């Protein structure tokens, strides 16, 4: 377990009130993974660490302490992402995924870097670019935590996926050839699966199929954990 951090690149995942003037802050740091800190006095109007409440920013933070819960001693904003209103829900989605799928103090620099790539596209009105980066992030996240998808071979097999074949996706196994008797409702073309494997999202069909595949894969690994952002959007 680390002791102190100095100017560690960090993203705020969630904050909640603690006592009268402080905050409990869940952070995703580049080199130490997901951690929690107390921001003492952060809710006071003139608090120097009150900026930790600013949404959608890259922070450099410092903290001290011997236990799992550290005390925030310094924070500064390195970059504002300023997501457009339509993209803000994507930030909430990413943060929920990290809280629910990452263990505490398990560093994943590659996930952190991909998070920043997604945030870099939040300022744009180009929804397609954001969608591509979200799919890339999801792939990286699952791979880094040991649940990477095999997008080149059929499930439990060394048979290569073929462009002109239809497949069903079974999250616990992988992609299986669809039989003639099975419904076409939940099938994916080999072409779209292979495009996802190479990050080729030039086709709208591939982009849609990729979103469906990744949602099924993520839901499987979430288990009984539900994403509040989905519940919120379903009510809108």
- Contact by Cβ (8 Å): 181, 174: no
Question: Do 149-236 and 5-80 fall under one CATH topology?
Answer: no
Residue 231: what pLDDT? 75
- Kindly report, residue by residue over 116-148, the tens digit of the pLDDT: 999 888 877 678 888 999 999 999 999 999 999
- Whether residue 234 has pLDDT greater than 80: no
Q: How many other C-beta atoms are found inside a 10 Å radius of the C-beta of residue 156?
A: 11
- Kindly report, residue by residue over 153-163, the tens digit of the pLDDT: 999 899 999 99
| 5-80: CATH class | mainly beta
| Residue boundaries of the structural domains of the chain | 5-80, 149-236
Residue 194: what pLDDT? 98
Rounded CA gap, 129 and 197, in Å? 17
CA dihedral angle for residue 128, residue 130, residue 134, residue 136, rounded to 10 degrees: 70
pLDDT category, 186, cuts 50, 70, 90? confident
In sequence order, the β-bridge partners of residue 36 are 26, 69
CATH architecture of 149-236: Up-down Bundle (1.20)
């Amino acid at each position: 377990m680390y002791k102190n951090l100095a100017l560690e690149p960090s993203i705020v995942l969630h904050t909640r009130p603690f006592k009268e003037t402080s905050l409990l802050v869940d952070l995703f740091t580049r080199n130490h993974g997901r951690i929690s800190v107390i921001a003492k006095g952060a809710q006071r109007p003139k608090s120097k660490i009150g900026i930790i409440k600013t949404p959608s920013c890259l922070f450099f933070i410092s903290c001290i302490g011997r236990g799992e819960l550290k005390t925030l001693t310094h924070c500064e904003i390195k970059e504002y992402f300023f997501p457009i209103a339509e993209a803000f829900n994507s930030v909430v989605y990413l943060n929920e995924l990290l809280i629910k799928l990452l263990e505490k103090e398990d560093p994943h620099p590659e996930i952190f870097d991909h998070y920043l790539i997604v945030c870099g596209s939040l300022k744009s009105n180009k929804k397609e670019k954001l969608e591509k980066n979200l799919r890339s992030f999801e792939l990286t996240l699952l791979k880094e935590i040991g649940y990477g998808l095999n997008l080149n071979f059929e499930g439990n097999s060394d048979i290569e996926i073929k462009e002109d074949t239809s497949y069903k996706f079974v999250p616990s196994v992988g992609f299986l050839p669809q039989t003639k008797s099975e419904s076409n409702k939940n099938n994916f073309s080999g072409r779209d699966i292979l495009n996802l494997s190479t990050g080729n999202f030039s086709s709208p069909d591939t982009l849609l199929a990729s979103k469906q595949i990744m949602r099924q894969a993520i839901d499987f690994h979430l288990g009984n954990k539900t994403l509040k952002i989905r519940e919120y959007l379903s009510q809108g």
